[in-house]
Amino acid sequence: MAGAPRAAADPQVLALAAQLTESSEQDIPLLLLQLKGILNSASLGSEESKKIKQDIYDYDLTRYCLLVLRQDHSRLRGGWATATQLAEILSRCCVGLEVKEDPEEFYKTFLPSAIDNLLVLGRRLQARFIRAMKDEEKQDFLHWFRTVTDAICWLFGGHLQLGVCVLQNDHFLQLLITDDVETAVITMSVLHNILRVNSSVLYQVGEETLHSVLDELVYKLSSTTNPVVGNAATKLLLLVAKFCKQLVKLLTSRYKGLKGLLSKQWTGKGFDGDLSQLLDLLYLEQSNGKGEIQRQHQAACIIQAMWRGFQTRKRLKKLPQAVTTLQRSFRAKREQELQHLKKQKEDEALKLQMKLQRQRAMRHFHERQLALLETIHASQVDKYMEGMEEKSALTIQRFWRGYRARRNFHQQRQSLKEYKAAVVIQRAACKFLEKLRRRRPLSPWKEPKALTDERRLALLQKVDDYIKLHPASQMSEERSKELHMQAQEKLAQFLLRNRLDQRAAQRRETLLAQVNTDVELLMNAPRLAETTEKDLDVFVSRSVPVATKARQSHNTMLKYTHCPWWKKLGDEFTEDDVIPDDALNAELGTLFIGGRKSI
């Protein structure tokens, strides 16, 4: 045993150790799988987890796992699945374990042996995966291989010194040297994790191991066209060049055609960013102008390749859309044509059916008419035909009146709709304005401000100052009387013209009312064939008083124009035979019965 067991050991570990001592070799692998549940019972990184791992190591359960991994896995119960789970359990038991008693044996003997056994298991799974024929079997072996490599990564992630052991192990180089794409990519991911966890590992391995790893990476870039392998190898070389500046010179000197290989074969494969960084690092090692020109040429090629790829992808993305649009338009046009043909056929069938119905109805009508004529006496035939014509005429009139009524209704419906809409709008506006009037507060009455004595004196002073600045002109008494007479004369002329204008407006309104009355009477007049003696009284001329009044006004205006100017002043000018306004209104009051306008 690695050390004396502790007094307060975990009961689950103690029970499992007791079962292992009493079990046969065939049952040991299945019993060791219980360690997974024991490890899961405690949270990762806690003190309880560390104590359980220490108990497992103290009771040599980890050594049991190590011994089982060295056996022939095809004979184990559970086969390769059991071996894979034990590899995962072994890596979990070793990470986070701090051995205080005899740590040299654990770090220098046990851990390298565990790495070796895990790599051997991975090598066997890789060989089984390559030889597998069925897809399901290949997927199982690939899953187990990935689990073993994850266990290796977990193990050297917890113990950084194991990275050197992994690189110097011959089984790891055998895993890396394979033509299988999937397992090669997984192995290169393990190498990537090693460099990411411990970047100084390349300085600690031997020159032969380093050259072997680099040779295999460059060989994969030159021997394959798979972009997945190329991407993984390029990332590894870039990581090597970034962490180890001295290895950049080794890459340029040992592999002289590497730059051309990368630029020609792997440009535009989907990882141009990493590729350009690697090429930049390689070109920096070249000090002459040729290297700079090649770098610029490489950059131009990359830009051109990126642009051409972008244009190509853009055209390819638009191609399905264009094809879809073309197909949609073609199908829509074809569907439209089919619908048009279908509608034409339906219309033709309907017309034919209506024609047949009319012919059938006409035939039935003639047959019925002939049958009736046969039963009617010869003297009653003319009377029957007249009755049929009258009925036909009534039917035609009824249909025509119905058509005309419907047409008028459709014409008036829009105007009726507009009228109703206007009424609704007006009603809403009136209600809104009424609400505003109700809400508007009444302005309180304010008493006008009375003039104070000081304000009154100030205003009087302003008036006096204005009179002093603008003195009034002196006018004689004779000049004042003359201006007064002129004003009186102009006022009399204005009053006379105003009276005449009022009478002229009154006459115009009277004539317009008479014209409106005559027009309405003519529009409502019956036809000449239907006119009676009572209707004649309506059209008796009623314009004699109007004509008399017009003639008198005309004579008055003529006399006014021939009279001297002194007769036109004031009331000196009087009209001859002037009819009083009250008499004229009484005479004309009965003119406009039934008219549109009245005075």
Q: What would the pLDDT profile of 275-317 be if each residue is shown by its tens digit?
A: 777 777 777 765 444 555 667 788 888 999 899 888 888 888 8
pLDDT at 312: 86
Scan for tokens 């013209």, then name that residue.
Answer: 497
Higher pLDDT, 69 or 502: 502
pLDDT at 538: 61
User: Would you list the domain boundaries of the chain?
Assistant: 504-525+541-599
pLDDT at 69: 75
Q: Is the pLDDT of residue 187 over 60?
A: yes
Task: Label residue 397 exposed, middle or buried (CB < 10 Å: 0-12, 13-18, 19+).
Answer: exposed
Least confident range of 524-528, 542-546, 554-558: 542-546
Q: Is the pLDDT of residue 405 over 70?
A: yes
Residues in CB range of 480: below 8 A, 6 or more apart: none
pLDDT at 264: 79
CA neighbor of 234 nearest in space, from 202, 269, 196, 203: 269
Give the residue-averaged pLDDT of 405-414.
85
Q: Residue 594 has what DSSP assignment?
A: T
Share of the chain above pLDDT 70, in %: 84
**Position 596 confidence tier, pLDDT thresholds 50, 70, 90:** very low
Q: How far apart are CA 351 and CA 345, in angstroms?
A: 10
Q: Is the pLDDT of residue 570 over 60?
A: no
Q: How far apart are CA 57 and CA 89, in angstroms?
A: 12
**Position 428 confidence tier, pLDDT thresholds 50, 70, 90:** very high
* Torsion angle in degrees (nearest 10) through CA of 112, 115, 121, 122: -140
pLDDT at 290: 53
How far CA 149 is from CA of 27, 109, 183, 494, 569, in Å, comes to 26, 21, 10, 124, 135
Q: Is the pLDDT of residue 115 over 70?
A: yes
Least confident range of 304-308, 417-421, 422-426, 528-532: 528-532
**Position 560 confidence tier, pLDDT thresholds 50, 70, 90:** confident
How far CA 18 is from CA of 37, 49, 59, 293, in Å, comes to 17, 21, 10, 74
**Tens digit of each residue's pLDDT (9 = 90 or more) over 450-484:** 678 888 899 899 988 988 888 767 777 888 888 88
Q: What region does 78 belong to: left with phi over 0, alpha with psi -120 to 50, or beta?
A: left
Give the residue-averaged pLDDT of 32-55.
73
| Residues 133 and 75: beta-carbon distance below 8 Å | no
Q: Is the pLDDT of residue 432 over 80?
A: yes
For residues 342-359, one letter each, b for 16 or more C-beta atoms within 10 angstroms of the residue's C-beta and e for the rest, the string is eeeeeeeeeeeeeeeeee
**Position 231 confidence tier, pLDDT thresholds 50, 70, 90:** confident
